[in-house]
Structure 1
């Protein structure tokens, strides 16, 4: 039986993923996927996508707003674009998306099934059932607006879909995993992201089996018209004299509950600092000695190694490592300048190293990919002994260097520090670039950009 993995609150954010970030997210997301499949196989990759903590960290390490509901939309969009050309090689296909893209999921599954050889019609039915369960059988106040269906060549799949509650300005993300799924109507979720916001009618709960059976029986005995009259009469009586409500006592253990705060800035309470210090120490103190193969990529230094340490953790980390998704935003910042602008030069070097490692591994040389794995192992060893700066100081220093790292956000390029502008007397070319008109890209037109 599929298990429920936890819950989280995601603040609703408006906005778009700029094309310059969308392209990088697609490339890095595809490379991380390739690394996971290479080391652990497709089944494990699907399990990762079904884990809400890992999914949030995955989006954060790619420069998306670390706490936002937009991570769901942007990650699904990035994977759809990035994995499309690799679907034949990896045997992984991403369908659906936000809004109108979600409604194309059944047709996409049928088309892929005809091409690959699995039963796309059955999977299309599964897609519709999953959407129906979370929109009708789980009545929790969230209206679905995103449906992503990721399927492997062997027919195994994971669904990540999301609903919004306009009154509370929050989103809830639902994770489904086909592995072990025996019923669409009894405890089917791998995870549901979103904290309790009042009474929930959950007809998929195992304790609601009698209710489901009675509803079907009532429909057969009374018919729809009689049911409507009875409900109307009951609602009238309830308005005058409310009936006592009987609550089911939960009999399942407490599950991890990820609550993403509404504040944009990354604060010390959002980060497990010993883990961050481990990554800093691993990059600064021993990167050059122990990971010389990684440093052979031109332009790679301690700052890129630090980002690679966080990427390596996303590839190799156990589930318990993702309790603080905000920490992974410290790899490549965020598009809204939180925790700091996206260091595009560092981001590009991270992509270069990962791409080089994957290409070499495909040719039988796994030294560079193994070095990334060892980087993750070494980072964990350093955690127990490493000391480092306080988080505000760390972020302030990163912001101070942002211009040199190619810092960029939705507000434009980061200018050089004041003293550099005074000493050179020159305009910053990054500012000149950011002053130009916004050009529509292919990713904008194809639906990767909306972040809500």
Structure 2
């Protein structure tokens, strides 16, 4: 299932090396404890929870409301866990910008390197690509993806943490996915979408948009000239008062016709297949949805799937500056406890569990 998103302001600057190095050590140590207690699948569940993920970043000392928390935390975890995947039972692939486009290669390479013969890399690559397609094309909320991380266990379970940018509002929106609940990429994959404001969206994966998806798919299988005739007729008459301003960025006829030729050749069976056709982006889907609504009476959904939301201090001094001495002590305690547990000495590890229990029940 799609477990949520969070909307965050874009911040300039970068993570100072002294903080990143500590995040690279403390973050994996915390996840190793989760694996020891609950198994690697629990790591996926927690990372796919936008609130837990945000709290995790705050514990590691990053700014609580910065878009950089996503990219820096994922980068620190990936770096810190490199070479330890066999012990922990999960792999982190992808990253920011150009690295995000290497995710399919990294998934396949990890399966080969770790000799995961029971794994089906092609299915994981498909899940990675479809998660990105849905949030970038089917859910048109104004955020362009620039960060994509795919986490998977040795038995094929997976989660996604990806982030998009809206340059106009200077906000970033983070999307979380958890594979164990995904039955259909095209229908209501969101279990929770968390941010501080709603916006105008075209939501082609809304539950109430089933008829729109059906008609859009049927239109995509028609010869392009038939669709273009309807499309141009609508433009000539003028657009009706639709909830979303369709006049914004309507594709040129030449561009749309070229995209539709690709789609027609593919003859997609359903909306998920349509999304997977190479070259099908937000403009193509928006044009198809417009004709489906105006000419065939199959309205699309404009419901933004959002609900409102939102230790060691932060690098920007809020709520207080990071205390490096305390941070280093936290790393040392966890690393020593984990090292002792590996050789059968679990007293310190059990003490940490008791401390967590006492703290939980005291609040």
Whether TM-score is above 0.5 comes out as: yes
| TM-score normalised over the length of structure 2 | 0.78
Alpha-carbon offset, residue 58 of structure 1: 0.4
- Give CA deviations for 1:382-401 in whole Å, capped at 9, x if unaligned: 33xxxxxxxxxxxxxxxxxx
Matched, 1:364 2:344: yes
Which residue is equivalent to 2:193?
A: 192
Determine if contact 1:6/1:258 at 8 Å carries over to the other structure: no
Determine if contact 2:193/2:306 at 8 Å carries over to the other structure: no
Alignment of 1:83-122 (within 5 A): 83-115=81-113, 116-117=116-117, 118-122=119-123
Matched, 1:55 2:53: yes
Runs of 4+ in structure 1 off by over 4 angstroms are 4-7, 243-250
Measure the CA separation in 1 of the matches of 2:131 and 2:10: 22
Per the alignment, do residues 248 and 187 of structure 1 end up closer, same or farther by CA in structure 2, a change over 3 Å counting?
closer
Which residue is equivalent to 2:184?
A: 183
- Give CA deviations for 1:171-204 in whole Å, capped at 9, x if unaligned: 1111111112111111223543334533221111
RMSD of equivalent CA atoms = 2.3
Which residue is equivalent to 1:376?
A: 356
Determine if contact 2:195/2:306 at 8 Å carries over to the other structure: no
Measure the CA separation in 2 of the matches of 1:124 and 1:166: 29
Alignment of 1:219-230 (within 5 A): 219-221=220-222, 223-230=223-230
Measure the CA separation in 2 of the matches of 1:243 and 1:36: 48
Measure the CA separation in 2 of the matches of 1:123 and 1:83: 20
- Give CA deviations for 1:296-355 in whole Å, capped at 9, x if unaligned: xxxxxxxxxxxxxxxxxxxxxxxxxxxxxxxxxxx2211112222221111111000000
Q: 1:20 aligns with which of 18, 34, 43?
A: 18
| TM-score normalised over the length of structure 1 | 0.63
Unpaired runs of at least 5, structure 2: 245-298
Determine if contact 2:5/2:193 at 8 Å carries over to the other structure: yes
Matched, 1:237 2:288: no
Measure the CA separation in 1 of the matches of 2:194 and 2:336: 35
Per the alignment, do residues 97 and 83 of structure 1 end up closer, same or farther by CA in structure 2, a change over 3 Å counting?
same
SS in 1 for 2:315: coil
Determine if contact 1:5/1:255 at 8 Å carries over to the other structure: no
Which residue is equivalent to 1:65?
A: 63
Determine if contact 1:7/1:256 at 8 Å carries over to the other structure: no
Which residue is equivalent to 2:166?
A: 165
Per the alignment, do residues 105 and 382 of structure 1 end up closer, same or farther by CA in structure 2, a change over 3 Å counting?
same
Number of aligned pairs?
306
Which residue is equivalent to 1:333?
A: 313
Unpaired runs of at least 5, structure 1: 260-330, 384-452
Alpha-carbon offset, residue 162 of structure 1: 0.8
Flag the structure with larger Rg.
Answer: 1
